[in-house]
Amino acid sequence: MTVAVPSEKSKRNTLLLLAGVFFLPFVIGTGLFWVDWRPEKYSNHGELLQPARPLPDTGLSRADGQPLPTSAIRGKWLLVLPATGMCDHSCESSLQMMGQVYIALNKEQNRLQRVFITYEGITTDNKAALTALQLKFPDIVVAAVSANEKGKVWHDALGGGGQDMFIVDSLGNVMMRYADPVDMRGVLKDLERLLKYSWIR
C-alpha cells in the first residue's frame, strides 16, 4: 500500500490557508476601526454633541421665582426640554412622554431627572402658569432662565428651544440632542445604554 506524501506546494498552500484564517479577523477589525464603522444596532438615536457643552453654574430659577443653582440638579443624568416660551399642549405631551421613558427605565430611573426650562424668565404674567405646570408634573423640575446675558449662555448650551430634547450627563455636560419630532423609543434605548455602560454614576 502506497501512502501519498503531500507535495511542497500542497504544504505551502495549507500553511497560507491557516495563516489567512488566523490573521483575517485582525485585518478586517483594523480596517473597520480606521473607517469608523459600527453595527447599525449600536448606533446612537440622538445626535452626539462633540465636544459636550457644560451647563452654566447659575442662571436658573424655580417656578416660584427662587434661585435654582445648577448644582441642585447636577449629580443625576438629565433629560431636558428647553422652550422659548411657555409650555403649550405639544410641550405637555412631550413632558408626559418623558415620564413614560422614566418609568420604562425601571430600576435605573432613580438616576434620571427630567427638566423643563423656559427662556422666557419668570414674570407676573407667567408665574402662575409655571406654578400650575409644576403642580401638574411634580416629578419634573420646572425652571426658567431670564432673557439676559445668563439666558444667552443657557441658550448656547441647550440650543434654541422648540421641541428639541437633550441628555445631560451627571457631571452637567450636554452630550446628546434629539431633534423635533423626538423619537422617544430612541431616547429610551440611548439612555438604557448610557446608564448601563457609563462609569459616571
**Per-residue confidence (pLDDT) for residue 16, from 0 to 100:** 61
List of residues 6+ apart from 161 with CB closer than 8 A: 82, 83, 84, 85, 119, 155
All three cell numbers of 103: 418609568
Please give the Cα distance from 111 to 158 (Å, whole number): 21
User: Taking the C-alpha atoms of 98, 103, 106 and 108 in order, what is their torsion angle to the nearest 10 degrees?
Assistant: 40
Could you tell me which residues are beta bridge partners of residue 165?
Answer: 178
- 3-class SS of residue 18: helix
Instruction: For the beta carbon of residue 146, count every other beta carbon within 10 angstroms.
Output: 16
Instruction: Give the torsion sign (CA, 143, 148, 150, 153).
Output: positive
**Per-residue confidence (pLDDT) for residue 77, from 0 to 100:** 96
**Per-residue confidence (pLDDT) for residue 200, from 0 to 100:** 60
Could you tell me the mean pLDDT of each successive run of 10 residues in the chain, 201 residues long?
Answer: 59 62 57 50 77 91 92 94 90 95 94 93 88 95 82 81 86 93 92 83 58
User: Beta strand 77-83 with 112-118: parallel, antiparallel or unpaired?
Assistant: parallel
- Of 84, 71, 90, whose CA–CA distance to 146 is shortest? 84
**Per-residue confidence (pLDDT) for residue 73, from 0 to 100:** 92
Q: Going from the N-terminus, what domains does the chain have, and what CATH number goes with each?
A: 46-197 (3.40.30.10)
H helices within the chain, ranges in order?
A: 8-34, 89-104, 127-136, 149-158, 184-197
**Per-residue confidence (pLDDT) for residue 81, from 0 to 100:** 95
**Per-residue confidence (pLDDT) for residue 15, from 0 to 100:** 62
pTM for the full model? 0.76
Please give the Cα distance from 167 to 156 (Å, whole number): 15
